[in-house]
């Protein structure tokens, strides 16, 4: 797969539902994923269902060793690095599903099935993000998601989507997104105004 080379692997699916999934990775790979970034799973061709989502949380759980080390008070740079690279608890990246690909089509709604454990999760590159965000029906999914910081997530997602476009198209894209939000949030003006402040181009 030619794309895989250009697209960094974010991790592998740890647990999943149709609403979203969590993928895990080694903690030193934290520079790749970012809050609001677009990711996709890639299954083998037989399954024909790739899920697209946005990262809404990144967390690092503790493990018994970390607790001990903090109490032990004898941390060298080497032990810290060793703990980070070889620890047993992965970095957890939570993803909100916003669409899927099936039969060569993009759908901006929840996938019919969740991805499978250990499916690879890839970070979408700029052209992919631009293509996926040519339609903005998925904003509604983000807006209505529970247990996520909706406004911040939306703003981050839109910034990513804008950044995936050529400079000249960014403003127009954000305006279009803003107009859509104005329609969705017409009954909640303070929230709308807050969101628009977050996404407005500098």
Partner 1 sequence: MTTRDPLFPETDSLDDWFPRGAHSTPAAPGAGQRLGVVVGGSLSRGLDIKLDPQATIEDLAVGRYVVVRGRSKRFFCMITDVLLDATNPAIRSDPPDLGDAFLRDVYSGTAAFGTVHVAPMLSIDEGSDEPKPVRTIPSHFTAVEIASAQDVDDVFGQEDATHFHVGAPLELEDTRVHLDLRRLVERSVGIFGKSGTGKSFLTRILLAGVIKNDAAVTLIFDMHNDYGWAVKTEDGPQAKGLKQLFGGRVVIFTLDDEATRRRGASYDHEVTIGYDEIEPEDLAMLKTTLDLSDAMIDAAYELHKVWGRGWIGQLINADAEALEALKAQLAASFVSVLALKRRVQRFERYGFLKPHAAEDSARRILEYIESRKNVVLEFGRYGNALDAYILVANYLTRRIHQMYVERVEKALGDTALEPPQLLITIEEAHKFLDPQIARQTIFGTIARELRKYNVTLLIVDQRPSGIDEEVMSQIGTRVTALLDNERDIAAVLTGVSGAGGLREVIARLDTRQQALIMGHAVPMPVVVKTRTYDTEFYASVSSASTQDAPKLSVTPSDPESRRLR
| Binding interface with partner 1 (CB under 8 A) | 1, 3, 40, 45, 101, 104-108, 124, 127-128, 131-132, 134-135, 137, 171, 174-175, 178-179, 181-183, 186-187, 189, 192-193, 196, 200-201
C-beta separation of 38 from 52 below 8 A: yes
C-beta separation of 145 from 154 below 8 A: no
Q: How many Å apart are CA 4 and CA 25, to the nearest integer?
A: 16
CB of 82 to partner 1, least distance (A): 38
CB of 200 to partner 1, least distance (A): 5
C-beta separation of 11 from 24 below 8 A: yes
CB of 131 to partner 1, least distance (A): 6
Q: How many Å apart are CA 164 and CA 133, to the nearest integer?
A: 9
CB of 81 to partner 1, least distance (A): 36
79 or 193: CB nearest partner 1: 193
Distances (CA, A) of 103 to 100, 109, 146: 10, 15, 29
Tally the C-alpha atoms within 13 A of residue 51's C-alpha that lie toward its C-beta: 29
CB of 97 to partner 1, least distance (A): 16
Q: Are strands 50-60 and 91-102 parallel, antiparallel or unpaired?
A: antiparallel
Q: How many Å apart are CA 23 and CA 92, to the nearest integer?
A: 6
Q: Are strands 9-16 and 20-25 parallel, antiparallel or unpaired?
A: antiparallel
50 or 92: CB nearest partner 1: 50
91 or 123: CB nearest partner 1: 123
91 or 124: CB nearest partner 1: 124
91 or 173: CB nearest partner 1: 173
104 or 166: CB nearest partner 1: 104
CB of 7 to partner 1, least distance (A): 10
């Amino acid at each position: 797969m030619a794309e895989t080379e250009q697209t960094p692997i974010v991790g592998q699916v740890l647990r999943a539902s149709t609403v979203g999934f969590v993928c895990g990775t080694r903690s030193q790979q934290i520079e790749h994923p970012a809050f609001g970034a677009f990711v996709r799973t890639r299954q083998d061709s037989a399954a024909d269902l790739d899920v697209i989502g946005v990262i809404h949380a990144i967390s690092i759980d503790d493990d018994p060793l970390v607790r001990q080390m903090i109490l032990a008070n004898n941390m060298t740079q080497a032990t810290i690095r060793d703990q980070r690279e070889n620890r047993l608890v992965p970095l957890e990246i939570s993803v909100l599903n916003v669409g899927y690909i099936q039969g060569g089509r993009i759908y901006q709604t929840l996938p019919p099935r969740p991805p499978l454990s250990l499916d690879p999760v890839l970070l979408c590159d700029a052209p992919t993000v631009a293509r996926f965000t040519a339609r903005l029906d998925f904003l509604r999914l983000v807006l209505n998601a529970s247990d996520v910081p909706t406004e911040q997530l939306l703003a981050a997602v839109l910034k990513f989507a804008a950044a995936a476009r050529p400079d000249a198209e960014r403003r127009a894209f954000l305006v279009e997104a803003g107009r859509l939000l104005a329609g969705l949030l017409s009954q909640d003006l303070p929230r709308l105004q807050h969101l628009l402040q977050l996404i407005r181009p500098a």
